[in-house]
Structure 1
Amino acid sequence: MDSASYPTPDLAQSEIGLMMIDSVAVTVKESMPPQVMVEINGMLNDGCTAFHEAKQSVEGNTIKIEVTTIRPKDAMCTQEISPFSTTIQVDAQLQPGEYTILVNDVAEALKL
């Protein structure tokens, strides 16, 4: 695959930061194994800021999702805060039990 046809942001010229999270909602689809979906609602700080990525990790009974934003360094941007929403499927095979889903600094309980 030719990477030139899929431009990626120049990370050396960008700032990565944690997204401001407003709310987290967890739903479980009844399937085998259960599929856990996390709806994340947050805010983009200005007109230049965009969603960057969501990284997942599981530590014991805590599922951590780190949601980051990206923006060009030293850019002049509109001071417009805009809402952002996405739904992410948890990539782990979870056993029955109680979990905490932590999205940046917002926690939500999950019982399977």
Structure 2
Amino acid sequence: MVQIGVYRLALTSLGLVLWLSACAGLPLASPAIDDALPAPPIELVEAASRSAPVTVEAVRVNVLESQPLQLVLEIDGYIPDGCQVPVTVSQTRVGNQVSVALARELPVDTLCPAVVQPYTQQLRLDGGFAPGTYQIEVNGLTLAQVLP
């Protein structure tokens, strides 16, 4: 009986040693990097964007007492989404016609939360104004301003 126990112990020990040595394995060699092949060039692609105008509900004109006269617009409206993107302002003036565009540039693939944000801005118009009647258009809302 003692010989059978010693025999079992020897076989169990041998099996355990073989099993552990198989688990250890040899260290994996890292694959060779072929320096002869250049890395593919990285192409920078400019993201497409879309213009999102501010919805203008009201415009008030304040005339500053200066020479020449200066005009400041008080603009009220809203931004129809929750994207936090700055508003860009562009002004053009041809004679007595003044046009102001308020818009944001959003990447085409941007999803914005459906949250209406109020928008208010005071905008000083470029240049001086002589007496006369001016047509002022802000994002489609037009008003006439008579300057004495």
Q: Give the TM-score taking structure 1 as reference length.
A: 0.80
2:85 to 39, 43, 50: 50
How does 1:25-40 map onto structure 2 within 5 Å? 25-40=60-75
Structure number with greater CO (CA < 8 Å, separation at least 6) is 1
How does 1:96-107 map onto structure 2 within 5 Å? 96-107=131-142
Q: Over aligned residues, Cα RMSD in angstroms? A: 1.7
CA separation of 1:66 and 1:74: change in aligned 2, threshold 3 A: same
1:50 and 1:83 map into 2 onto residues whose CA distance is 14
CA drift of 1:18 comes to: 2.0
1:60 and 1:35 map into 2 onto residues whose CA distance is 15
Matched, 1:68 2:98: no
Q: How many residues align?
A: 102
Counterpart secondary structure, 1:91: coil
Which has a greater percent of helix?
2
Whether contact under 8 Å (1:58, 1:92) holds in the other structure is no
User: Residue type of the partner of 2:111?
Assistant: M
User: Residue type of the partner of 2:73?
Assistant: V
2:104 and 2:76 map into 1 onto residues whose CA distance is 13
Matched, 1:21 2:56: yes
User: Residue type of the partner of 1:17?
Assistant: A
Q: Percent identity?
A: 30
Structure 2 residue ranges without an equivalent (≥5):
1-45
CA drift of 1:13 comes to: 4.6
CA separation of 1:56 and 1:21: change in aligned 2, threshold 3 A: same
